[in-house]
């Protein structure tokens, strides 16, 4: 019989190792972030010669300059608008479709689902040009609606795939109960399926928010009018053809990273709460 001291030491050592592991990975993740913030406080002359993480002289005005020179105000709002619109759009469209693929039976279900999956697997790097011509014909070029619809399409397949996988795993008892109570299919979707899928919906939100927030080439090609551009395009102002204004670029990138981190912070709460299985038992 092993003594309880043995078990205690084992547990303590295990915890210590786990913590060491977590901390070392965490440091490697934090380092570039700190470097980015530290660089944003340096000057163009010291950014590569001063190797310290925390510069002696902190040039906080870089943030103000970056905001002004990059015209961040307008572009920031645009990016938020596009991201929110696309995320809401994808959540609704893809969860409807994923729910249907998972729960319903209808002709051509598998074929259509496989088509969506295939789309996820066949990227079209050259598709900008046909997309541009198409948008032109539909009079959607240089419009917010056109960009939003394009971006919804970009994340559609993956989101449907993610949601269907999780719907398949979710037990149906709650839904059966709701159906017996006379709830319509749409009602089941809204009142039962969606709330249960909160964790994976959170993943979908983060995934698509990040994709739209960081996107810039499609925006650059579709939009001609400067005042419709998203934030990423403004950032290219600092990445000149010849001169890259590194401190301002870093300040701009830091500002750009904040909203996404906030979105993640908000969403990860749902991933933690997870399924409240108590609903089925109690």
Q: How far is the CB of 58 from another protein (least distance, A)?
A: 19
Using alpha carbons, select from 65, 71, 66 the residue that is nearest to residue 228.
71
List the one residue from 5, 54, 111, 243 that touches another protein (CB under 8 A). Answer: 243
List the one residue from 66, 131, 192, 255 that touches another protein (CB under 8 A). Answer: 131
Question: Which C-beta is closer to another protein: that of 64 or that of 165?
Answer: 165
Contact criterion met (CB below 8 Å) for 156 and 93: yes
Q: How far is the CB of 144 from another protein (least distance, A)?
A: 6
List the one residue from 99, 175, 215, 251 that touches another protein (CB under 8 A). Answer: 99
Contact criterion met (CB below 8 Å) for 62 and 247: yes
Residue 205 binds another protein (CB under 8 A): no
Q: How far is the CB of 240 from another protein (least distance, A)?
A: 4
255 Cβ neighbours under 8 A, 6+ residues apart: 63, 66, 67, 72, 76
Total binding residues for another protein by CB under 8 A?
Answer: 120
Residue whose token pair is 């998972």: 102
Q: How far is the CB of 177 from another protein (least distance, A)?
A: 18
Contact criterion met (CB below 8 Å) for 225 and 191: no
Q: How far is the CB of 41 from another protein (least distance, A)?
A: 15
Site for another protein, residues 50 to 79, rule: CB under 8 A: none
Burial of residue 227, with CB atoms counted within 10 A of its CB: 0-12 exposed, 13-18 middle, 19 or more buried: exposed
Question: Which C-beta is closer to another protein: that of 18 or that of 58?
Answer: 18
Residue 199 binds another protein (CB under 8 A): yes
List the one residue from 9, 13, 24, 127 that touches another protein (CB under 8 A). Answer: 127
Q: How far is the CB of 257 from another protein (least distance, A)?
A: 6
Gap between the Cα atoms of 136 and 9, Å rounded? 69
Q: Segment contacting another protein (CB under 8 A): 58-66, 172-180, 210-218?
A: 210-218
Residue 36 binds another protein (CB under 8 A): yes
Q: Segment contacting another protein (CB under 8 A): 25-33, 57-65, 173-181?
A: 25-33
DSSP 138-203: TT-TTSHHHHHHHHHHHHHHHHHHHHHHHHHHS-SHHHHHHHHTT--HHHHIIIIIHHHTHHHHHH
C-alpha torsion 2→7→8→11, nearest 10: 160
């Amino acid at each position: 019989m092993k003594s309880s001291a043995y078990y205690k030491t084992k547990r303590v050592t295990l915890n210590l190792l786990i913590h060491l592991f977590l901390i070392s990975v965490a440091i490697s993740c934090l380092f570039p972030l700190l470097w980015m913030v530290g660089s944003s406080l340096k000057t163009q002359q010291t950014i590569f010669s001063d190797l310290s993480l925390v510069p002696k002289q902190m040039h906080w005005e870089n943030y103000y300059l970056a905001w002004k020179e990059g015209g961040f105000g307008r572009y920031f709002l645009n990016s938020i608008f596009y991201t929110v619109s696309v995320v809401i759009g994808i959540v609704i469209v893809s969860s409807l479709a994923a729910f249907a693929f998972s729960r319903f039976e209808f002709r051509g279900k598998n074929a259509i689902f496989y088509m969506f999956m295939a789309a996820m697997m066949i990227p079209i790097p050259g598709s900008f040009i046909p997309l541009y011509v198409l948008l032109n014909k539909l009079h959607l070029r240089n419009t917010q609606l056109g960009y939003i619809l394009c971006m919804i399409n970009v994340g559609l397949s993956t989101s449907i795939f993610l949601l269907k996988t999780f719907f398949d795993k979710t037990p149906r008892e709650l839904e059966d109960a709701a159906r017996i109570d006379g709830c319509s299919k749409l009602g089941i979707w809204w009142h039962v399926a969606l709330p249960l899928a909160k964790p994976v919906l959170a993943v979908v939100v983060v995934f698509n928010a990040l994709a739209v927030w960081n996107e810039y080439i499609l925006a650059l090609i579709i939009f001609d009018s400067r005042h419709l551009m998203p934030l990423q395009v403004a950032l290219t102002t600092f990445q000149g053809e010849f001169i890259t204004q590194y401190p301002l670029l870093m300040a701009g990138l830091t500002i750009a990273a904040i909203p996404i981190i906030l979105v993640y912070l908000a969403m990860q709460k749902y991933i933690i709460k997870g399924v409240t299985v108590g609903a089925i038992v109690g």
